[in-house]
Amino acid sequence: MLDLSLPAVYVPAIFLTLVFCLAVFIAKEAKKAGGVSLDKLPYYNEINLSMGYIGRNVLENGRFKYRKNVDSEVKYNNKIYNSLRHAGILYSMYMYEKYGYPATYKKFRYNASKYFIKKYIKKLDETRRVVVSLPKEEQINMSIAKSGAAGMALAALSNLCAEKKLPLELLTGLGEFLVSMQDKDGNFYAYYDLDSDTINKEAEALYYTGEAAFGLLHLYDVDPKTKWLHSAKKGLLYLAKFRKPLGMDIPFDHWSIMAIEKLFNTGSVAEDEKRILMEYVEQMLIPTISKQITNKNNSYFGAFQENIRPGSIGTIMEGLASSYFCTDSEDLKQLIYKSLSIGCLFLNRVQVKTGEQAGGVPNSANWVRPEASPNAGVIRMDNLQHVILSWLKFQEIIQLRNDLPE
């Protein structure tokens, strides 16, 4: 798809060379890793440490301790909460098990799922269910149902249907809601105003269409009806066409990349559609990777220019890992791999390794500095789940590449 010999390509050859040279030592961590046990892979201990943090911070009722601080003396009441992000944490807990890690936290996942279903999933009408955002918790002035939250709920809960832990009707109700929130072009409206019982067609949310598509594809896994598949595909094609004119200013939408990878795995994408979606992924990749800090002597090696926030970088690594499976270009795959290598290493360096908050990933890479503000040491559960997922997905790529260099 991507011809690096063409002058129109975004990445200068010199950047490719620089990244290749500087990151090659990271590949040593994964030397000939294909087929080995999980505990021999890079980030095995870090993944377990972070999942342990999540497990320790599930309350008895299934709610998460959403926000803590590296400094245990700093306390939060955690009244501020987010239903969408709760679903995202559930998704990471399930993926931890799916990738072959022990089911140590399954009972916590089940408990947190029950809490989520009881508190946040409501019936809108006879066919549709929604995930509510509570005004007091999210500090908003109206009760709404986000399309992105419904998508994340489907990603988080669909596995429970396969495990006979919840009825399919609950999931299809969320699917029907999402289909009703899609316009004729394929975009998903951001939210439904529950107070006025109407769709808000003016609000915009960067990630909701990608999250909605991602969720519908998980629903398709357990309820293989074409309407779920077609709705997801239509949404992703909309994003590709709508954002193409943005050129280098295109936002990096990791959820849409993850949805595209999942869509490709269904084997139901026509060649012309596949080309459009691959070009969309490539358009997002190049300006993002070109901002990565590749100087190994830089204390922020692996982070990005003007972005040293581990949670944000976790989402980028998560999207990059999925993009590896969304391109036919071997050159671009190599570039993605090198970017993942140093990005995941950065995340490893900023993880809290010891103490009460071991496994947490703070707001800023500067949390270790004496002059850092208290906000730098804030650990948010939703940020942590992205870091875990990026490491898990990178491990998948490491095992796929069975001939890594010395």
Per-residue pLDDT of 309-341, as tens digits, reads: 999 999 999 999 999 999 999 999 999 999 999
Domain count, the chain: 1
Are the C-beta atoms of 230 and 270 separated by less than 8 Å? no
pLDDT band with cut points at 50, 70 and 90 for residue 366: very high
Q: Above 70 in pLDDT, residue 128?
A: yes
Q: Give percent above pLDDT 70 in the chain.
A: 90
In a domain, 168, yes or no: no
- Please name every residue paired with 304 in a beta bridge, in sequence order, or none if there are none: 292, 307
Euclidean distance between CA atoms 63 and 89, whole angstroms: 11
pLDDT band with cut points at 50, 70 and 90 for residue 373: confident
| pLDDT for the residue 37 | 84
Residue 1 sits in which domain range?
1-59+67-74+291-406
Q: Above 80 in pLDDT, residue 33?
A: no
Residue 388, CB-side half-sphere exposure with 13 Å CA sphere: 29
Describe the crossing of helices 310-323 and 330-350 by its angle, rounded to 10 degrees: 150
In a domain, 338, yes or no: yes
Q: Above 50 in pLDDT, residue 32?
A: no
pLDDT band with cut points at 50, 70 and 90 for residue 102: very high
Q: Above 90 in pLDDT, residue 164?
A: no
Residue count (the chain): 406
**Vertex 9: Cα angle to 4 and 10 (nearest 5):** 120
In a domain, 158, yes or no: no
| pLDDT for the residue 371 | 82
In a domain, 380, yes or no: yes
Q: What is the mean pLDDT of residues 380-400?
A: 96
Q: Above 80 in pLDDT, residue 259?
A: yes
Q: Could you report the per-residue pLDDT of 267-282, keeping only the tens digit for each?
A: 999 999 999 999 999 9
Q: Which pair of structure tokens corresponds to residue 191?
A: 């939210």
In a domain, 332, yes or no: yes
In a domain, 93, yes or no: no
Euclidean distance between CA atoms 257 and 188, whole angstroms: 16
Q: Which helix (H) or strand (E) holds 399?
A: helix 381-400
Euclidean distance between CA atoms 364 and 344, whole angstroms: 15
In a domain, 233, yes or no: no
Q: Structure pTM?
A: 0.90
In a domain, 131, yes or no: no
Task: Give how far the C-alpha of residue 53 lies from the chain's centroid of Cα atoms, to the nearest Å.
Answer: 18
Q: Could you report the per-residue pLDDT of 55-76, keeping only the tens digit for each?
A: 999 999 999 999 999 998 999 9
